[in-house]
Amino acid sequence: MLMSEVTSMDSKQELINGLNQDLAREYQAVIAYTTYAAEVAGPHRPALRAFFLEEAADELKHAQLLADKISALGGVPVVEPQPVPQATGARAMLEAVLAAETETIARYARRMAQAEELGELALVAQLHEMIVDETQHKEEVAKLLDGFPE
């Protein structure tokens, strides 16, 4: 086997591992948004519940895309979510979500570079679209948090 083939197999495995961590975090996001939608209380409940439910649906789509790609690459999609951070109160929920979305965008930017290196161009395009979605989530949460009571 050529050295370059070994390197490429290593980086493919690294990509699969990274995508599986991303998948565990998408499942975390589905659970977090679903739970926050159920639990959020106070005068802002109607708007926040609707927002959380919409986000949950987006994150589930992301999870499906990632699981499909991991399987297509010859990997096995994880079935365990990353643990969901506890958040009590609407503001804490929004702050937890803002932190998660920010980290997810950074993770997908790294994953795009890995996919690009391996010539996985459809995955590059999908990650690009997911970065667009997560950035919209992040910007909406930032707007909701702006001036939100403590």
* Of the residues 19, 27, 37, 62, which one makes contact with Fe ion according to CB under 5 A: 62
- Smallest gap, in angstroms, from Cβ of residue 71 to Fe ion? 18
Residues listed for the chain: 150
Number of residues that bind Fe ion (CB under 5 A): 6
Choices 38-46, 69-77, 97-105, 119-127; region in contact with Fe ion by CB under 5 A: 97-105
Per-residue contact flags (x/-) with Fe ion for residues 123 to 142, judged by CB under 5 A: -----------x--x-----
- Structure-token match 């390197």, residue found: 7
Q: Considering only the stretches 32-40, 56-64, 75-83, 142-150, report the one whose residues sit in contact with Fe ion under the rule CB under 5 A.
A: 56-64
What's the closest the beta carbon of residue 130 comes to Fe ion, in angstroms? 6
Query: Which of these segments, 4-12, 85-93, 96-104, 141-149, binds Fe ion (CB under 5 A)?
Result: 96-104
d(CA 126, CA 66): 9
For residues 124 and 112, the answer to whether their CB atoms sit within 8 Å is yes
Compute CA 10 distance to the chain's CA centroid, rounded to the nearest angstrom: 24
Q: Is 22 in the site for Fe ion (CB under 5 A)?
A: no
- 129-138 contact pairs (CB < 8 A, 24+): 130/62, 130/65, 131/105, 133/58, 133/62, 134/101, 134/104, 134/105, 134/108, 135/105, 137/55, 137/58, 137/97, 137/101, 138/98, 138/101, 138/102, 138/105
Q: How far is the CB of 83 from Fe ion (least distance, A)?
A: 17
- Could you list the residues that contact Fe ion (CB under 5 A)? 26, 59, 62, 101, 134, 137
